[in-house]
Structure 1
């Protein structure tokens, strides 16, 4: 399988530039540094064209920050590039990734074996508890399809078919990109996970998140936490009832 790597990098995030090049050099795949969309430079018209609240259930309870809009547009542009170039698969990193080349090499080989079946395989940076269908193990590496897909977009392998599916569903969006990808009942695209994967997120040791959060009062923080808890419970229910996940689970048993 011929792969191409994309490392998303925001030009003004100068403290991450060297790390972005290190990720590209150590991933073992030919590729490029991909210019991320700077949400701070988006006009109101740019945002209105892409962002529409309350598109599907469960409704996302928070308004997106401009940085989150930019992040989504950045990932969508790579999905579109995979489609336009007719790549077999794209290996996509964010610029705060850090790789253990030996472990990641094994994880990537495992992902390549199954990418045609599952389309979207995350290289997870942390263990997530919960129900999962385990497809294959390689030593301590574990490839599975979790019922509730983890929310993180540090590193992933995406097939051409999956990229087409995601682009079609993401012409407009109402939630952050990792939460969108999690919504397999809407996208029709299941998410498989490899953990451990040899990938670590090191944003705090670089310059922190490039998506700046707002400052909230105590009452606002409490309200947001309640809304987040309710939303997560709804995600669990929609994930459990997802026909997309049922199909993916059937695939793991073949």
Structure 2
């Protein structure tokens, strides 16, 4: 099987997590590359300002972003840049605190037959339902969403999708929340169930560790209400049209 490039986002100093995930991928017949994560705490304010729009955050999101969230977004964004710069048809993006099912390899074998997609979600810790579904075979089902899963543990990104996501800079929401606002950039998002990737609760995410104690918890009723209204309106629309993908 021709596998896509697989990038595992891993923080420097936490290479044991990379090794654990890499070993598991090898067990299911896949190979991967380590992608060094950006530590938001180590970025100078001048560089943060080139990535993160504080004014837009104040106007369009319900709370400020933490250094961990900023670093996480930059890490994913730099993978999108790599996909575009190297003209990769698509790539699999994984974080390093994962449980990976044996089904990942046979799922990836189906991807070349799909067309017109920008992102395929392979994980969801909240069991968001599909709206429309199509059977890919006896094992896997393709579907679209009204409520796009907000995790970034595992997903496929196409060249076309990466180009769209590069338009997000400077960003003002967390990367997983931005993916839920797919309509803003015409991002065509689908998922394949049963998901082959899930969060490994035996690990504490490095992003979660970096975020500890960072959120002020201070917001306003108006900021919260505006964000919820925008999210509600986005969820009135399907994340993709399946007939355009199969």
- Out of 230, 238, 243, the position equivalent to 2:234 is 238
Write the mapping of 1:88-167 to structure 2, written as runs, cut at 5 A: 88-101=89-102, 103-114=103-114, 116-126=115-125, 128-130=127-129, 132-167=131-166
Task: Report the CA distance between 1:118 and its aligned residue.
Answer: 1.2
Q: CA RMSD in A?
A: 3.2
**TM-score for both structures, normalised by structure 1:** 0.82
- CA-to-aligned-CA distance 1:180-227 (integer Å, 9 cap, x gap): 12211112112111222221211x31234433334499x948x68996
Q: Is the 8 A contact 1:26 1:99 kept in 2?
A: no
Tell me the equivalent position of 2:10: 9
Tell me the equivalent position of 1:80: 81
Counterparts of 1:197 and 1:225 in 2: how far apart (Å)? 36
Unaligned runs of 5+ in 2: none
Q: Is the 8 A contact 1:56 1:186 kept in 2?
A: no
Counterparts of 1:63 and 1:76 in 2: how far apart (Å)? 19
Counterparts of 2:59 and 2:109 in 1: how far apart (Å)? 35
Q: Is the 8 A contact 2:98 2:197 kept in 1?
A: yes
In 2 relative to 1, CA 186–151 (structure 1 residues): closer, same or farther, beyond 3 Å? same
- CA-to-aligned-CA distance 1:216-248 (integer Å, 9 cap, x gap): 99x948x68996687345312123157xx4xx2
Counterparts of 2:221 and 2:25 in 1: how far apart (Å)? 37
Counterparts of 1:23 and 1:79 in 2: how far apart (Å)? 24
Q: Is the 8 A contact 2:9 2:93 kept in 1?
A: yes
In 2 relative to 1, CA 208–118 (structure 1 residues): closer, same or farther, beyond 3 Å? closer
In 2 relative to 1, CA 96–10 (structure 1 residues): closer, same or farther, beyond 3 Å? same
Q: Is the 8 A contact 1:185 1:239 kept in 2?
A: no
Counterparts of 2:29 and 2:23 in 1: how far apart (Å)? 11
Which structure: greater helix fraction? 1
